[in-house]
A and B are shown apart, each in its own frame.
Chain A
Amino acid sequence: MILTEPFERAWHHRELIRAVVRREFISRFRDTMLGWVWAIFAPLAMLLAYTTIFSVAAPMVAQGQSTVDYAAASFVGLILFNTFAELAARAPTLLHEHVYFIKRSIFPGETIAWTSVARALIYAAISFGTLIVVRLVTVHYLQWTILLAPLVLIPFTLFLLGMTWFLMALGAFTKDVSYLMVAVVPLMMFGTPVFFTIEQLPANLQPWAKLNLVGDFIAMMRDLVINGKLPSLPMYLACFVVSYAVFLLGYRFYNEYKSVIVDVI
């Protein structure tokens, strides 16, 4: 079945995906003394820096919101955007990094997208956990809608997987794709509502901003985590359908060129 084929393949290779993700974390934390503390320290330091800057140095940025809420909202945006940005910048070089696996063994290359996305999501989850703890300390409550966060995470993950497959296949052909992404992705932060909301944009720009899928995910996630609001159903369904399409098309694109990639890389 064409709609579920990528999942079946991933299930088939689940042992491999698990082994590779484990490896990434083992080799990252092996030569450190504090290990996991570093993974928590980085997001915590960033969150504290935002809160400090927006409450002390630039309180006017928050625009009526309490600075604590504004910092938290920015942080939600940053978690999702960084997850996207890291994958988008790294995906074009993924196949080059695994060239020995791909050329010399029966390694199923499509699992690289799953392992990369899993890795990025685990870091996002650590940041998210930090955010929740900080929210409990600063405002002493959580919105119940936070329980629905996985519903936004599912289409976001599908979108990331599709994008990774597409970029890693394209990046195998020429290194230009990699340089392009490294140059363009940081710029995209200005077009994505990380430090602002879509509603703060001029009315004529808002429809265009909504075309940015990452921004939509950020807006929905913010509603659930900070504002305690449910995203509108049509908006959610539209994002889900588009993400699923990206997922399937990315997978198809990768598979289309899979055998050629082995020869050219």
Chain B
Amino acid sequence: MSSENAIVVSHVGKAFQLYMRRNDQLMQALFGWIKTFYKQHWVLKDVTFEVKKGECVGIIGRNGAGKTTLLQLLCGITRPTKGSIAVNGRVAPILALGSGFDGTLSGRENAMIAAAILGLKRNETLAKMPAIEAFAEIGMFFDQPMKLYSSGMIARLAFAVCANADADILIVDEALSVGDEAFAKKCEDFIDEFAKRGTILVVSHGLDYLKDLCDRVIWIDAGAVREIGPPNDVIPAYVATVRKDEEDEAAATVGG
């Protein structure tokens, strides 16, 4: 793999196994080598693209097009059914902010664990703790049990950890819709700043935001790449198609 590429995705497909009966999952695990107990559902069919180092790439597509699955594959949460993925550098996924936190622990202790998951060493994390505390801006709640937090505060802390993880590649899944406006602004500012030195892959329905931020946009449609290119080419095409489909649907409803 060329050292210029941060991410190389080649012919990746991901099939989920659909089971008709509850216990078929166990049967498959035990006797899968004799007989298949599931039907395959291909969420991603054939996806190929590259992301260069320092590039900022947006991913657009309708609900159910496979965007989230693609991000999960890139983070290594699940493995592709076919094809290969190479990721060059430390990834910080901002997927579901704060979902792994423990309510009985303080923000500081949860931050220690979250940073360890991202691959930081204990003394690295301790050195960064003031920066995390400052970024989160949750004041004295930082040392309170997390069960006292509002959902916005949890998101702030989770983002603060990711922002201080020294990542090479940031993978963002519409996380910015949580928290208040001031916090959303702060996250956007951080991402803009990060875009100058690192690689970013961002899924969003905010098309204007992507237009400003991204160098390229990937349009995923029905599990495959429909178009890749500069935002000014791809986004209008995407908008036009979505609008046309809506009109067709409306026409069908009226006609039917």
Residues of A in contact with B (beta carbons under 8 Å apart): 15-16, 18-20, 23, 26-27, 30-31, 100-107, 169-170, 173-174, 176-177, 257-260, 262-264
Residue of A nearest to B158 (CB): A105
Residue of A nearest to B29 (CB): A173
A26 to B73, CA, bound (A): 33
> Given that A101-B100, A106-B77 are contacting pairs, would A16 and B116 also be in contact in the complex, using a CB cutoff of 8 Å?
yes
Residue of A nearest to B96 (CB): A104
| Minimal beta-carbon separation of B177 from chain A (angstroms) | 16
Given A15-B122, A19-B112, A177-B26, 7 extra CB contacts under 8 A: A16-B117, A100-B99, A101-B117, A103-B77, A106-B77, A176-B26, A259-B78
Which one of B5-13, B102-110, B180-188, B232-240 is at the A interface? Answer: B102-110
A174 to B112, CA, bound (A): 32
Residues on A with beta carbons closer than 8 Å to the beta carbon of B75: 106
Contact status A106-B117, CB under 8 Å: yes
Report the count of interface residues on B (CB-CB < 8 A): 32
Residues on A with beta carbons closer than 8 Å to the beta carbon of B78: 259, 262-263
**Among all A-B residue pairs, the 8 with the closest Cβ atoms:** A259-B79, A16-B116, A104-B96, A27-B104, A174-B26, A19-B116, A173-B26, A173-B25
Contact status B29-A170, CB under 8 Å: yes
> Given that A19-B122, A105-B95, A106-B77 are contacting pairs, would A260 and B117 also be in contact in the complex, using a CB cutoff of 8 Å?
no
A15 to B113, CA, bound (A): 9
Contact status A174-B23, CB under 8 Å: yes
Contact status B122-A18, CB under 8 Å: yes
Residue of A nearest to B78 (CB): A262
> Given that A27-B102, A263-B78 are contacting pairs, would A15 and B121 also be in contact in the complex, using a CB cutoff of 8 Å?
yes
Interface presence of B76 (CB below 8 A): yes
Contact status B17-A264, CB under 8 Å: yes
Residues of B in contact with A (beta carbons under 8 Å apart): 16-17, 19, 22-23, 25-26, 28-29, 75-79, 91, 93, 95-96, 99-100, 102, 104-105, 109, 112-113, 116-118, 120-122
A176 to B102, CA, bound (A): 27
A103 to B120, CA, bound (A): 20
> Given that A105-B93, A106-B118 are contacting pairs, would A264 and B25 also be in contact in the complex, using a CB cutoff of 8 Å?
yes
A257 to B78, CA, bound (A): 11
A64 to B119, CA, bound (A): 57
Residues on A with beta carbons closer than 8 Å to the beta carbon of B19: 264
A166 to B25, CA, bound (A): 16
CB < 8 Å neighbour of B91 from A16, A100, A106: A106
Contact status A23-B100, CB under 8 Å: no
A13 to B189, CA, bound (A): 32
Contact status A105-B100, CB under 8 Å: yes
| Minimal beta-carbon separation of A177 from chain B (angstroms) | 8
A260 to B25, CA, bound (A): 10
| Minimal beta-carbon separation of B151 from chain A (angstroms) | 14
Contact status A260-B29, CB under 8 Å: yes
> Given that A105-B93, A106-B93, A263-B17 are contacting pairs, would A30 and B77 also be in contact in the complex, using a CB cutoff of 8 Å?
no
| Minimal beta-carbon separation of B166 from chain A (angstroms) | 14
Residues on A with beta carbons closer than 8 Å to the beta carbon of B28: 173
Residue of B nearest to A101 (CB): B100
Q: What are 13 of the A-B contact pairs (CB < 8 Å)?
A: A15-B120, A18-B116, A19-B122, A23-B102, A23-B105, A27-B105, A104-B100, A173-B28, A174-B23, A174-B25, A174-B26, A260-B29, A264-B25
Residues on B with beta carbons closer than 8 Å to the beta carbon of A177: 26
| Minimal beta-carbon separation of A74 from chain B (angstroms) | 35
Residues on A with beta carbons closer than 8 Å to the beta carbon of B77: 102-106, 262
A20 to B115, CA, bound (A): 11
CB < 8 Å neighbour of A26 from B17, B99, B105, B117: B105
Residues on B with beta carbons closer than 8 Å to the beta carbon of A16: 113, 116-117
Residues on A with beta carbons closer than 8 Å to the beta carbon of B95: 104-105
| Minimal beta-carbon separation of A4 from chain B (angstroms) | 21
> Given that A26-B105, A106-B77 are contacting pairs, would A100 and B100 also be in contact in the complex, using a CB cutoff of 8 Å?
yes
| Minimal beta-carbon separation of B157 from chain A (angstroms) | 14
A102 to B77, CA, bound (A): 7
A164 to B113, CA, bound (A): 22
Residue of B nearest to A259 (CB): B79
Contact status B117-A105, CB under 8 Å: yes
A124 to B107, CA, bound (A): 30
